[in-house]
Amino acid sequence: MPGFNHTTENMKTKTLLGFFLLSVMAFCVSACQDDAEIILFSGSELVDETGTCTNTVSSTVLYLNGWEAENIGIANGKGGYSAQSSDETIVTVTVIDNRLWLSSHGKKGKVTVTVTDKDGNYVTLPVTVSYGVLTFMCVDQPEFQVSRPSEDMLSLDSESELQEKVNVAMAPYSFINKGDICILRPDDVYHLSEEGTGGKFIYKTEDEQILVEGTYQIEWASLGGKQKKAFVFTYIDKNNVEQQHAYSMFLSKSFYEFNIFLTS
């Protein structure tokens, strides 16, 4: 009668356990989510990189001054998808060819969209409908250029003295002051810096007191003796007189900032 080899049996057990663990790991990295779980994603197809979905969508925003509609991909689940909005006066939804189509209707607000498959599995998507805005804080007092200096200004000893006197004399005519906030609401949030585009603006203090409301346009203007791309602000002042000021515009990768310089 052959003896029982514990070493051999232990090795077999470890081998089977190792094979099982490898199988589980392979399963885990083969898909970025459970197949029964509905996934919403941006773009034309779901991107699965080493078990991680890199383009899933958990919430979205529709802009009334830009992209008022959107379509989002639907993956996994059991198919036969349907969708419902919690408030159809703000957003309506439909499913076409495994794509979720969202449409806003000119009303701001927040809704929850629910996507359900034929087996009753579902996923929810928070949707915000709003206007896209840009907010700027003025970081310095404006400077002014003199086109026709007066005689007493010409008598000053230095250019810096001249600039300082001009700034003091012209300060009451500027509507931008250090620490105040300017909010721009472009007509098209996806075309913020193109010539000819524009929108509305609100200018207020840090404590939310509104000082000026009007419109702005992006166009070329003479600033400091040179033609520059600028924000041109137009508004009606407290004396019911139309005012217009132009400020040069700088664009970086992440934000806009004003070069505070008022045209003469």
Each residue of 43-82: pLDDT tens digit? 999 887 766 778 999 999 998 887 789 999 999 999 999 9
The pLDDT score that the predictor gives to residue 251 is 47
For the segment(s) 39-130, the CATH number from 2.60.40.3440, 2.60.40.10, 3.40.50.1000, 1.10.287.110 is: 2.60.40.3440
* pLDDT at residue 209 greater than cutoff 60: yes
Query: How is residue 140 annotated by DSSP?
Result: S
pTM to 2 decimal places: 0.59
> Out of 66-70, 111-115, 180-184, 251-255, which region has the weakest mean confidence (pLDDT)?
251-255
Residue ranges per structural domain of the chain: 39-130, 134-262
What are the b/e assignments for 196-206, b being 16+ CB within 10 Å?
ebbbbbbbeee
Question: What is d(CA 230, CA 198) in angstroms, rounded to the nearest whole number?
Answer: 11
**Average pLDDT estimate for 35-50:** 85
